[in-house]
Structure 1
Amino acid sequence: MKDGCSPPISLETKPQRKLHHGYKVFVSTWNVGGALPDADLRLDNWLDTRELYDVYVLGFQEAVPLTPLNVIRPTTNPLSRWNYLISAALNRSSSSSSSSSTSSSSSSSGQKIHPVKEGQAEEFFCVASKQMVGILLIVWLRGSLRKDLRHLSISAVGCGAMGFMGNKGAISVSFFLQKKSFCFVCCHLSSGGAAGDEQRRNRDAAKILSRTAFLRRRPRKILDHDRIILLGDLNYRVSLPVPTARSLVAKKEWAMLLQRDQLLAEMSGGILEGWSEGAIRFPPTYKYNPNSDEYYGCVPGSKGDNTRAPAWCDRILWRGKGLTQTRYDRYESKLSDHRPVRAVFVIPVHTDTWRTMPCGSQMRRQTLLSLISSSPSDHNQIRQSEGSVSSVTVYPSPFSNVEL
């Protein structure tokens, strides 16, 4: 019996598996040492905008000074500043055409929405943005991929002062791209270079993995996801006497230093066993003298801390099948005593291509997909990404009404 479609098609149509070209994901972690960015800070080189990627996952630590007042209730909003600068860098090539195309409308949050016309350069927009004291996690997405993103959820776990404050801990974001689940975890673990301090970092990592939970049935925990990337100031040091470590740094003997790297030890039989990391071919990322390329305490005649040696505190790890890392390096910036670390991953995605289906069956399938693509929401824990691809959020400048 016909259902109004022409021509009639068999009801036994099945989906065919097709390999997507692969998403290119840019990931970076940066401990900014409590520094607020100036309005003229350009992030193009850090974000490598000469080659635009599909997804940007950016983690910050110490985005505000970790004073007792800020730990209880941060007095500044670094999120708006960083998002404005990120938007400017990613959308710089098309900002002039977007601003002159049509009149803007205002959203309920006070941000401006500009329609994206056909033929304009593709724009990026923010799909997740969360702050916990000094930890920030920000995710930007290429506009054409918005239709592929579902079930976006955010969870924050503090394990700092008193065991639960947010000066240390992690923010995690979970979502689906096509049919695969992804989790990105931005961490700031306990500091300290004394013997035994690595055990406090191990406990922090264990708390983050066990306490982080997303308000849905599956995947609920970090390790339940198909593909996971962990980034941040993990604070693991080099287990060598400080004079020995500084001598090896002066000789640029990175391989010998890495033989005593605490994080690599934890990835081989410790709390982070099963995680992977790209080959480290760059100098230690911490600790530098202010506005200098010289390591703290390594300048002859300086009054440096005798318990602190250079180390690779800032790292990016991953686990799960199908993740291919094509880049792992550090970026040169004197904004803080850390150097940001960057990685690029290529992630293949299989999509279903459906043959022509009867209208009734197609409508039933679309209804089913719309039902299973919805997810519950909760205050400050869940952010749902659903909607049209035809608009992009434009961040107004937060610098005009604040003192820098």
Structure 2
Amino acid sequence: MPLEASSVRSTERLDAKIPGAFTPSIASITTHQTSLSQVLYERRAEYTRPRNVRIKVGSWNTGAQKGTEQDVGSWFVKGKGVEEVMAGLGVSSSGGESESGHGRESVAAQEARRTSYQPSVPHRDTGAVPAGEAIDIYALGLQEIVDVTSAAEALRPYTDPTMANRWKASLEAALPKGYQLVSEQQLIGLWLVIYASPDVLPQIKNVSTTSVGTGLMGYMGNKGAVTTRIMLGETTRLVFINSHLSAGADKASLERRNWDVAQISSRTRFDPIVDALGSSQTTGEGLGEEDFAFWFGDVNYRLQGMPGDDVRRLLTIHTKDMDQESEGRPSTSGDSGYGSKTSSEDTYDMLPPAAELDPASLQTTIASLLPHDELRQQMKQGKAFHDGWEEGPIRFLPTYKYDIGKVGVFDSSEKRRCPSWCDRILYRTRAAKQRYEELLRDREAARKRDKEMELKGMDLPGDYDVMYEYNPDTDGDTYDENDEHDVPEPEPIKTKDDLSAEILLEYYTTHMRVLSSDHKPLDAVFKLQYDAVIPKLKTAIHTEVAREIDRQENEGRPSIAIAVERATGSPSADANNKTDSAFEGVDFGDVKFAKSYRRNITIANTGRVPATFGFADRPVDKEQPAGPFPPWLSVTFDKDQDQLEKPRPDDIHQYFTLAPADVLNVELRLKIESVTSVRDLNEGDAILDEVLVLRVEDGRDHFLPIRAHWQPSALARSIDKLIKIPEGGIRKMQHQIPARGEVKWSVPREIFRLTEAIEDLTERTLAEWEMTKREGERAPWQANAGWPFFKARSSVTPEHEDELAAVYDALDCDTPFPDAFDPETRSKERVELLAEVLLTFLSSVADGVITRSLWEKLEEALTTREKTKQQIDPDDEKMAILEILATAPNHNATFLLVLSFLQNIANQITEVSRPPPDTPKTSVEMPASPQAKVRRRTLSKVPEVAIKQLIVKNFAVVFADVLVRWKEGVREKEKAAKKERMVGVLELFLSSGS
């Protein structure tokens, strides 16, 4: 049962797509003030207490053998299967007696009954190493729980947890009640699992698991390591590394094993450490930053240069009569301090000699083989595991390779592999790692001194060269076989947090009587003492320290206050705006398209020191522009921003500094003028709700909520929806569009109202011009043949902004347009504003007056005609176009309404622009044509006809953009060609009107 998320942040990656791949997580980091951390650290003795735990580390290469999972509970959890007469550190002979008095099952009987359907450990075995509740933390690493030699398994894009679940079930069935899963990590055949007792479980935090593949192509998971980092009591970092290194007995395989170790060491990365207060202490750690590390697994180092047959014969002497030895001979484990038990209580002179002094003993044989062990050689030569790693005394037989189903029969197959200690358990302390790094620094300093003396031409004095000469390939700690008989002593260290801890290796042995794999499992028991953090004490001290620091710092900390103008007190507020007196931010009330709304806030320095502040960037997604303010809000200040002398954080663009008691007035202006925003607001995909962040340097952030209530608009809706809006306008409907069939109009009423009003005002403007024009003054339509339709709102001046917004409001509420204008506004200005609204409205129609599908059909017909180069009668061409448009009746009717409207406007302007009959043609002034480039020679020689041509051309260019919905993603050159065809269509219809 895994730990709850509140106590452990497990980072299992069983679903990693690439075995061995490591994806560092992005952790949320909260930084405490340095002073708080320092004071809390100085008082750490007040919230830590010594605590002891016992850790059992186990390793086994199961060889993907069927039924091996049935043995794991017996040997790893219950400590069974140890052959005491040839066991390791800390194991003494029990005489083979069970609690019931019956002797343990013999080797022959055990081998005879062995099957893959039941545990292979001896019957009536009481266990020889600490087990059950005597262990606080169980850390088990298995190798080859699946067949890693299979290409299908090695190249599988995911890790199959099926086999791991079987092992987990067997383990949990054997574990004492209450032990829970701390972490689990699998990489193909590698599996690492950690369980903790109920007492220790609450002390475990910051669990992080990862994997590194070093197999095929250097990263596949058929070889590599799975690693877990845990933290005990918020003070002591423990790392468990289960590895399976490259196999093979040749030199290239040895070098590849060393490479595997280096890759695992450099590529392993853990998640940041987060303490009980939610503060991240690190940004992620690698190997070497822990307090204690345990590296175990099938490291595959062999006995170098040893004939396999000779080694087998030598070791078989000690294994062939194990039953007889266990009954009468003392243990040869040589525990040196744990006490070897003899078969009887004889006098001192009858005791056998110590095993290490007996040339025929197992320990003497082991001592003769260990100098040839590749792992020890590589450590000595500084090529692998030389940076502080240690191993307990090896007093047990090689763990590899045995015949499956046999206790002590070494490889009898054709390959007859040389027995080797392939499976190992190493450990390292922070102190050992630091000693190694200090040694490196000393050697580097000596090398630099030598180099400096050589450059100066100085001879090394006396034995100076002997003292400092170092060869990394040969130098190192010399091997002493007596080291094998030393009893490990507790090693005290200082943790990364400068707290006390110590570790003692109590047991290190193999389980020879486990028969289900060609490797023998081995385990080690460590006793660990550490200073554990007591969370309640730490929280209390943290609160006390933080309160005192806050009291001291607040007096010299910048402080500001924000005063918000209420909407009801603002002269720019609408009378209909609804406000919420409980709302603490800026409430703009009801807002409409194109209308500006203003609110004011005042920022005052209420502290004793100058305050520097600015609005910080909002966290926005990809679709929203970055910056401190949303696109519909602009902000102006009544004070110049600071001139920065040094770089500041990039998330603040304007800084302001206020002296104590000084104030800054800020105006917030909200205006919706983007059709895209209107569409999103109408559909409910966006809301006018934001929070501005005012960041004070060395002070706290202030949050200013901004909100407004959107009033629906007829803009950005489809033709089909517009024709269903009844009298009273879109606001009256309260977002409810009538059901299909409740069509009110043949064309959108808004377009009809606008075109009708523009026609009337155009006629009035022309009449007023005739009555009030001054000699030499050019008429608006002479200055621009596209009048009154201008692109980019060129005719709307700031003083007419409110009138433009009122026109949109009249359109949405179905109220008379004249009410939207100031009585003093002339007809010319009114018609230009209405024309601007018409263009905006047409361009906002969601599907366009001519939809994409209609245009594709039109363009196909037009392209076909262009290719044939046939002269077609204009009336026939118009009929062909109308037949296509007739497939969408409402769009067709709207198109014809706009055409009729434009023809009437063009005819009115042409009529008033007609020169007197006797005017010479050369003296007729032609209107300017800013919207369309027209060559003079293409115009008619009849002045009034030429004027009409210019007007039509400009109208066609302007309305081609607003009537058609082009396909998205079209290149500019292609879009220009499409627009030119649409301009031709409009000219075709408009030129024939009179």
TM-score range, shorter chain: 0.7 to 0.9
TM superposition outliers: structure 1 runs of 4+ over 6 Å: 11-14, 362-365
Distance 1:44 1:254 in 2: 27
Match of 2:174 in 1: 89
- Provide TM-score, normalisation by structure 1: 0.73
Compute the displacement of 1:304 (Å). 2.9
Match of 1:132 in 2: 187
Residues 117-266 of structure 1 aligned to structure 2 (within 5 Å): 123-178=178-233, 179-216=235-272, 217=282, 220-239=285-304, 240-251=306-317, 252=362, 253-266=365-378
Deviates more, 1:324-333 or 1:140-149: 140-149
What is the number of equivalent residue pairs in this alignment? 320
How has the CA–CA distance of structure 1 residues 330 and 51 changed in structure 2, closer, same or farther, with 3 Å as cutoff?
farther
Distance 2:56 2:45 in 1: 31
Match of 1:104 in 2: none
CA shift digits 1:47-76 (9 cap, x unpaired): 233453110000000001121111122556
- Provide TM-score, normalisation by structure 2: 0.31
Q: Is the 8 A contact 2:62 2:68 kept in 1?
A: no
Secondary structure, aligned partner of 1:43: helix
How has the CA–CA distance of structure 1 residues 136 and 37 changed in structure 2, closer, same or farther, with 3 Å as cutoff?
same
Distance 1:31 1:88 in 2: 21
Residues 106-121 of structure 1 aligned to structure 2 (within 5 Å): none
CA shift digits 1:169-223 (9 cap, x unpaired): 0001011101111111000000112344211111110110011111323561111
Greater Rg, structure 1 or structure 2?
2
Q: Is the 8 A contact 2:407 2:514 kept in 1?
A: no
Q: Is the 8 A contact 2:212 2:267 kept in 1?
A: yes
Compute the displacement of 1:244 (Å). 3.4
Deviates more, 1:212-221 or 1:13-22: 13-22
Secondary structure, aligned partner of 1:157: strand
The reply to whether residue 71 of structure 1 matches residue 154 of structure 2 is: yes
Deviates more, 1:16-25 or 1:331-340: 16-25
Q: Is the 8 A contact 1:232 1:316 kept in 2?
A: yes
Match of 1:47 in 2: 77
Match of 2:141 in 1: 59
Distance 1:359 1:152 in 2: 24
2:379 to 248, 251, 267: 267
Secondary structure, aligned partner of 1:20: strand
Q: Is the 8 A contact 1:36 1:63 kept in 2?
A: no
Compute the displacement of 1:265 (Å). 1.5
Compute the displacement of 1:270 (Å). 2.8
Secondary structure, aligned partner of 1:349: strand
Secondary structure, aligned partner of 2:389: coil
The CA RMSD measured in Å over matched residues stands at 2.8
Q: Is the 8 A contact 1:29 1:340 kept in 2?
A: yes
The reply to whether residue 329 of structure 1 matches residue 509 of structure 2 is: yes
Compute the displacement of 1:345 (Å). 0.6
Compute the displacement of 1:77 (Å). 1.5
Distance 2:47 2:390 in 1: 28
- AA aligned to 1:31 is N
Secondary structure, aligned partner of 2:425: strand
- AA aligned to 1:317 is L
How has the CA–CA distance of structure 1 residues 303 and 90 changed in structure 2, closer, same or farther, with 3 Å as cutoff?
closer
Distance 1:311 1:21 in 2: 38
- AA aligned to 1:62 is E
Compute the displacement of 1:41 (Å). 5.0
Secondary structure, aligned partner of 2:415: coil
Q: Is the 8 A contact 2:402 2:409 kept in 1?
A: yes
CA shift digits 1:2-57 (9 cap, x unpaired): xxxxxxxxx99874375524110010001011024478656134323345311000
Deviates more, 1:264-273 or 1:45-54: 45-54
How has the CA–CA distance of structure 1 residues 339 and 16 changed in structure 2, closer, same or farther, with 3 Å as cutoff?
same
Secondary structure, aligned partner of 2:372: coil
Distance 1:224 1:126 in 2: 24
Q: Which runs of 5+ in 2 are unaligned?
A: 1-39, 79-130, 273-281, 318-361, 430-492, 494-501, 549-994
Match of 2:23 in 1: none
How has the CA–CA distance of structure 1 residues 221 and 304 changed in structure 2, closer, same or farther, with 3 Å as cutoff?
same
How has the CA–CA distance of structure 1 residues 50 and 364 changed in structure 2, closer, same or farther, with 3 Å as cutoff?
same
Compute the displacement of 1:266 (Å). 2.0
How has the CA–CA distance of structure 1 residues 346 and 295 changed in structure 2, closer, same or farther, with 3 Å as cutoff?
same
Q: Is the 8 A contact 2:212 2:219 kept in 1?
A: yes
Match of 1:276 in 2: 390
Distance 1:38 1:243 in 2: 28
How has the CA–CA distance of structure 1 residues 361 and 229 changed in structure 2, closer, same or farther, with 3 Å as cutoff?
same
Q: Is the 8 A contact 1:278 1:325 kept in 2?
A: yes
Deviates more, 1:12-21 or 1:163-172: 12-21
Secondary structure, aligned partner of 1:33: coil
Compute the displacement of 1:86 (Å). 0.9
- AA aligned to 1:88 is A
Compute the displacement of 1:324 (Å). 1.1
Q: Is the 8 A contact 2:312 2:410 kept in 1?
A: no
Distance 1:17 1:324 in 2: 25
Distance 2:542 2:403 in 1: 67
Q: Which has the higher strand share?
A: 1
Compute the displacement of 1:81 (Å). 0.9
- AA aligned to 1:305 is K
CA shift digits 1:250-308 (9 cap, x unpaired): 345111111111111122233111210000111000001121124444xxxx54315x2
Q: Is the 8 A contact 1:64 1:76 kept in 2?
A: no
Match of 1:304 in 2: 414
- AA aligned to 1:69 is A
Secondary structure, aligned partner of 1:166: coil
Q: Is the 8 A contact 2:208 2:228 kept in 1?
A: yes
CA shift digits 1:98-120 (9 cap, x unpaired): xxxxxxxxxxxxxxxxxxxxxxx
Residues 361-372 of structure 1 aligned to structure 2 (within 5 Å): 361=544
Distance 2:547 2:508 in 1: 45
How has the CA–CA distance of structure 1 residues 258 and 362 changed in structure 2, closer, same or farther, with 3 Å as cutoff?
same
Match of 1:34 in 2: 64
Secondary structure, aligned partner of 1:207: helix
Match of 1:290 in 2: 404
Distance 2:543 2:192 in 1: 43
Distance 2:244 2:541 in 1: 53
Q: Is the 8 A contact 1:44 1:90 kept in 2?
A: no
- AA aligned to 2:245 is L
Q: Structure 1 vs Structure 2: percent identity of aligned residues?
A: 31
Compute the displacement of 1:155 (Å). 1.0
The reply to whether residue 343 of structure 1 matches residue 453 of structure 2 is: no
Compute the displacement of 1:360 (Å). 5.6
2:425 to 316, 319, 323: 316
Deviates more, 1:262-271 or 1:171-180: 262-271
Distance 1:182 1:358 in 2: 26
